[in-house]
């Protein structure tokens, strides 16, 4: 009876808690993805969109694959939320759906000098700003030409995020990005 009385005292708090846990869950490949999405939503005035979902660190695309592979109807009874598995553009996955689980792949910007990860969505201007102010964050692979069976093959210049600097770059960009 005492617990019931307490429940009746805070119906709005209980309703808010239920609503929070009934939101779709969006699993991304990593913590940096969450931080970039939150910062982008803030800068674009779209934070209200992220309030409609729960963003979770999936711990890499391999773990997202495990959720996809092991999801079945019994799990849907335990976790009745929609689950969205949001993969980076470089994972060679296809958008698909299995019951309440949706597999989605971030689009790839083919003209972008960074071809992998969520960083592929950064504008060229943002990448240039990062490289100019913090060159240790961006590795540059110069264009090269080689001869294969008598035919010259040119590989264009590319850029990538230095894997040891991903966290520092995320911190810097979330603090200084516009």
Per-residue pLDDT, 174:
95
- The confidence band for 80, taking pLDDT boundaries of 50, 70 and 90, is confident
Q: For residues 6 and 134, give the distance between their C-alpha atoms in angstroms, rounded to a whole number.
A: 54
- 3-state secondary structure at position 9: helix
Nearest to 25 by CA among 95, 100, 90: 100
Count of alpha carbons within 13 angstroms of residue 115, beta-carbon side:
11
pLDDT at 68 over 90: no
- The confidence band for 167, taking pLDDT boundaries of 50, 70 and 90, is very high
pLDDT at 164 over 90: yes
For residue 128, what are the CA distances in angstroms to 118, 133, 143, 144?
Answer: 16, 9, 17, 21
Per-residue pLDDT, 4:
61
Neighbours of 65 (CB within 10 A): 16
Residue range 6-50, pLDDT digits in tens? 666 666 766 666 656 678 999 999 999 999 999 999 999 999 999
Per-residue pLDDT, 25:
92
């Amino acid at each position: 009876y005492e617990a019931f009385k307490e429940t009746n005292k805070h119906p709005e708090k209980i309703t808010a808690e239920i609503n929070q846990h009934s939101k779709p869950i969006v699993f991304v490949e990593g913590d940096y993805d969450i931080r970039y999405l939150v910062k982008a939503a803030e800068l674009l005035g779209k934070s209200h969109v992220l309030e409609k979902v729960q963003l979770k660190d999936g711990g890499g695309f391999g773990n997202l694959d495990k959720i996809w592979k092991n999801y079945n109807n019994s799990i849907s009874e335990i976790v009745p939320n929609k689950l969205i598995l949001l993969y980076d553009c470089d994972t060679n996955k296809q958008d698909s759906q299995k019951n309440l689980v949706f597999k989605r792949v971030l689009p790839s910007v083919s003209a972008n000098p960074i071809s992998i990860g969520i960083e592929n969505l950064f504008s060229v201007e943002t990448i240039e700003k990062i490289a100019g102010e913090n060159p240790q964050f961006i590795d540059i692979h110069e264009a090269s030409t080689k001869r294969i069976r008598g035919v010259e093959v040119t590989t264009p210049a590319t850029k990538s995020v230095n894997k040891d600097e991903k966290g520092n770059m995320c911190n810097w960009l979330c603090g200084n990005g516009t």
